[in-house]
Amino acid sequence: MGLILSIESSCDDSSLALTDIDTKKLVFHKKISQELEHSVYGGVVPELAARLHAEALPKILEEIKPYFGDIEAVAVTTSPGLAVTLVEGVVMAKAVAIALDVPIIEVNHLVGHIYSLFIEKEAVYPLTILLVSGGHTQVMQMRDFGEITTVAKTMDDSFGESFDKVAKMMSLGYPGGPLIEKLAKEGDRGRYNYTIPLSQSPKIAFSYSGLKNAVRLSLENATPEDYKDIAASFEHIATMHLVQKLKKYFKTNPPKNFAIVGGASANLYLRGKIEELLKPFGAKLFLSELSYCSDNAAMIGRVGVEMYKRGLFSDIDAIASSPKSAL
């Protein structure tokens, strides 16, 4: 049995996985999240995250010692992410790769999110992808492995980040996405008439800073009783912004296979609206299992398998703390 050990530490999740290279089966997967530790600050504190990774990663590594003899390569997230947390995973990857005398594979975190769709499965191409996470909001086209083009990006905040910021303004905690989604379920989506960002612009791009500021203004005169309506109206407009821009993009690029990935792809309101949007195209919607939407090492291992098969290894000495992936 040949295994890939994969390591993810780009933000606030310490995670390790073992993936069978031939069968793509996940032999081991563990993730230690730091949400509780960061929630008092309303967001991720990079130095605290780095310290927690330094504690958690070796603990998980201890559990997979019995598999050391089967490891054929180490795949590690090297970008994008927080430099101080990425380095924790990279240092461990280098140490294991040297000790076991196996190659190292640098994985791009965003490609990892895409391959969260294909954990223990075959990949599907071509694919139009909406990535919505705490750090990114973008639309990509993937023709084949390694052939990815970005067709639209956010100009400021990301979709998930805007949920985090709105939750922070309401003192709800972190991460804001699930908290806002829960509150929004009880609210009136039409009560606060926020403007859909960039709706007059022909550009296919995203922006969330204006919507966040509009929410800030409405919160000034709101009582906690109004919060659920604000959350519901915000979630509706944040989602309709994605829907409106995708609709525009689909006019010239009708989707065949469409996927939503990233931590915020867990949002059920968003999933529902995208399903409606795809219906007239007869496009197939791909979603990751809920447990693989947010950051995890299983998705990094899945990319690792593809890169291993293509011999996409890196020179250990050349890997800096946050270098570019080989993709």
How far apart (Å, rounded) are the C-alpha atoms in residues 246 and 115? 21
Of 237 and 266, the one with the shorter C-beta distance to ligand KG4 is: 266
Q: For 79, list phi and psi in degrees, rounded to 5.
A: -175, 160
Q: Does 295 bind Zn ion (CB under 5 A)?
A: yes
How far apart (Å, rounded) are the C-alpha atoms in residues 236 and 189? 6
Helix (H, G, I), strand (E, B) or coil at 304: helix
Report, in Å, the least distance between residue 262 CB and Zn ion: 6
Q: For 244, list phi and psi in degrees, rounded to 5.
A: -60, -45
Helix (H, G, I), strand (E, B) or coil at 296: coil
**Among residues 3, 5, 11, 107, which is the contact residue for ligand KG4, using CB under 6 A?**
11
Q: Which stretch binds ligand KG4 (CB under 6 A): 131-139, 202-210, 214-222, 301-309?
A: 131-139
Q: Which residues have a Cβ under 8 Å from the Cβ of 196 and sit 6 or more positions away?
A: 237, 240, 241, 244
Report, in Å, the least distance between residue 263 CB and Zn ion: 6
* Interface map 48-67 toward Zn ion (x if CB under 5 A): --------------------
Q: Does 133 bind Zn ion (CB under 5 A)?
A: yes
* Partner residues linked to 147 by β-bridges: 144
Q: Does 135 bind ligand KG4 (CB under 6 A)?
A: yes
Q: Which residues have a Cβ under 8 Å from the Cβ of 314 and sit 6 or more positions away?
A: 103, 104, 105, 106, 326
Q: Which helix (H) or strand (E) holds 242?
A: helix 227-252
Of 139 and 237, the one with the shorter C-beta distance to Zn ion is: 139
Which residues in the 174-203 window bind ligand KG4 by CB under 6 A? 175-178, 181
Q: Does 266 bind ligand KG4 (CB under 6 A)?
A: yes
Report, in Å, the least distance between residue 135 CB and ligand KG4: 4
Residues found near Zn ion in the complex (CB under 5 A): 133, 295
Residues found near ligand KG4 in the complex (CB under 6 A): 11, 133-135, 160-161, 163-164, 175-178, 181, 262-264, 266-267, 294-295
